[in-house]
Structure 1
Amino acid sequence: MDENEILFDDLDIPAFDPFARLQQRMQGQQGRRAGGLFGGSDDSDEEDEDDDAHAQDDPDGLDDGRVRSARVVVEDDLITFARDDFDDVGVYQIIEQAMSVDFNYYEVEVMDWGAQGRIGIGLARDNYPLNRQPGWNYGSVAYHCDDGKLFQNSGFGRAFAAPAQQGDVIGCGIDYSAEAVRDRVRVFFTRNGSEIGQALVEVPPTGFFPTVGLHSSGESVRVNLRARWPPEQDDEMIGDDQDPNAKWSRLSKVTKKDGLLSYIGLGQSDSDGGIAQSCVPLTHCNHYFELEIVDSGDKGYVAIGIARQDYPTYRHPGWNPGSVAYHADDGKLFHGEGRGREFGPSCHQGDRMGCGVQFLKDDDDDDDLDDGESEEDAGEGRKIEVFFTRNGKRVGKEIATVPKGGFFPIIGMLSRGEKVRAVLTPLSG
């Protein structure tokens, strides 16, 4: 599928790095109490514990230097709405530590949906009003579980992702590895281990703090400040004797369950792309993989190909530099741009699509590797042949230049209901 939208990445906007400025601000703040929500202990706080517990009995307000909250009951990491009507909003905010490079992500598990599931999860300034859902007022951004909308400095939300449900784990974080643009950073959200969307957000003067809003009777959530993104993986997870889908560790708007990769995005615009990318680069010994289209979904926008390791999670494979992909809906080949060329037949439910690489003759000699240099790093700047198959037969090939770090298998989906089964298996012989 062609795309004609102007890319944010392509805009010539001077970069600005607010992270260093934010870190300087945080270094100048007074240290928070030891033994707080992030672990550790301090015996000197024993006398204060009774005061904190007593303050939590009053749902209309708490500010102990670590937490600000109103109209919620706090029991360790379990937060419950303390009202029976919908007029008031309950807010729970962690102010012990601002979001930073070392603390860039947290998760919230929806324990009880309550009457309407009007739960907001996001980030806000440290003096955010405790009677407003995160996202509604200036200095905040949040994903709302009941309608899947994103709210950013306004009471009017925009379509963002599918609604959540009881039992879901919603994450929110800041990508400090991404290039900042002017004074904005990339805030992203996850659902059950998969990225569901992102937004460019202006950082308040004192930084961002985890903030949760509850707004209907019976709602209850559990907050996890020790969550990490992406999740840490054991080396065993990528062993040959493991589930092949375990290697698809970089997921955005895609979930993996029972051997299937399923699209969970909105599928409404070019920026709703979902990807599954392998954590294992293609090499001489690991050079081919396949997918089976289990469900073509609404429009069959399935893509298979290879991409650089840091490929944008919201872009369909092949559309951005550092990627090559074969698209199922129109059979076109896309190589680093949003306009494809005629390549092969379209693919449909039940078809198998394959992608592999062949290292050209000059690259087959491993004697050229320097000491300590990996195979994929050594290939940077070299030419390889990328080929694609359909139901076991070759469709065509394309010459590509290996980026720094190598090429990684990638699958893209972009319409509701799409499901594929992927296998990372080298060709025999």
Structure 2
Amino acid sequence: MLTRSQDLLQRAEKLIDLAIKAGADKADAVVARQRASSVSVRNGKVDNTSASEADDFNLRVFVGQRVGSVSAGHGADEKALAERAVAMARVSPEDQYACLADESLLAKDWPDLDLYDPTEPGSEALTEAAMAMEETALAVPGVTASVAAGASAGMFGLVLATSHGFAGSYQRSGFGRSVAVIAGEGTKMERDYDFDSRVFFSDLENPELIGRNAGERAARRVNPRRVPTGSNMNVVFDPRVSRGLIGHLVGAINGSSVARKTSFLKDRMGEKIAISGLTINDNPHLPRRPGSRPFDGEGVVTGPLLMVENGVLQQWYLASPTAKELGLATNGRAERGGNSTVPSSTNVICDPGDVSPEELIKSIGTGLYVTELIGHGVNMLTGEYSRGASGFWIENGEIAYPVSEITIASNLKDMFNRMILANDIDPKFSTAAPTIAIEGMTLAGE
């Protein structure tokens, strides 16, 4: 008996055959499988439950340099779908960079990355976890109200077939728990949260720990102060926000941004763009990691890439169309989206520094420890950076008191060259970054 993935792969290959018969020169077909269930609670009562399951087909066809793409759910008329895609391609404008991956780069085999856990916690188990998180968080002294608590489980699967010989599939499970609460009262209320997300259910942090962390985080933020405006200040980014900082670098070295000339690093290949201590690897082959994948969205072989080495930019993230536009070859980082493939990161790992977070905070003396950022004030064309922030003030190398209503500003080009990295890498996220201190930022407060 065929497995579900085998059945969907056969249907994808049939779509391609029908597209070629309808007049396409080449084609590929993707089936995205999704299954998800979740429960949210508030004040000890179930607030919402949801469950969904879908197999979404996308057929992309090429007629010369013209591309057409159609999507449909399970049960669609496959012959009509293929004919419609070809008809759309024939009236589409030419795209000189549209292409499938080079056949020589296609994966013939791939590793088992241990990405699928068949555990299916029912709604009762999800509800119990959510209730436990909320109850534990509300028991923390100073916590006055619940925002919500939730637990989820799901699966994502990808089936890919191409007209030039690739056929493959994989699936990845995902489980999550989160809770947010409020501490304080009236105008002095402060909100915070904690969460965990894993590929395997057994790897999840227990609900009570997540709840306690959320409650303690919120309670510590009560009665925040303002800080004076100043320049040339030291700012320490908690790993929650430092992952976003590294994410800005990852976005700036995405080949799509480079090709569009919308990246402040577009002309910096082979140059030093950050401190010598900054090395960033991208590895899709890490077991049980959320960014892992055995092959990319074009069926190309994947493997570890050294993106930044000792501060020197080594590679762009590339898919075949982007690589073609830049006069390069893809490096196996394509992600399928609609009628095109675009570059994307997998598991981004920032090498740790030599000091602990406590030693790093002590070394900067006075400054701001950021736990939350607000707004989207980042210009990826120029690198200008301006974000609302809250967290804690550092005095004499110690966390002193909570602060809020602050704006921090600088330029990413300068920030990457003024970093100090701690050694607290958390490997469970698709972007693993430590506590990071940035020297010489501007703070706008009182």
- TM-score, normalising length: structure 2: 0.21
- TM-score, normalising length: structure 1: 0.21
The structure where helix makes up a greater share of residues is 2
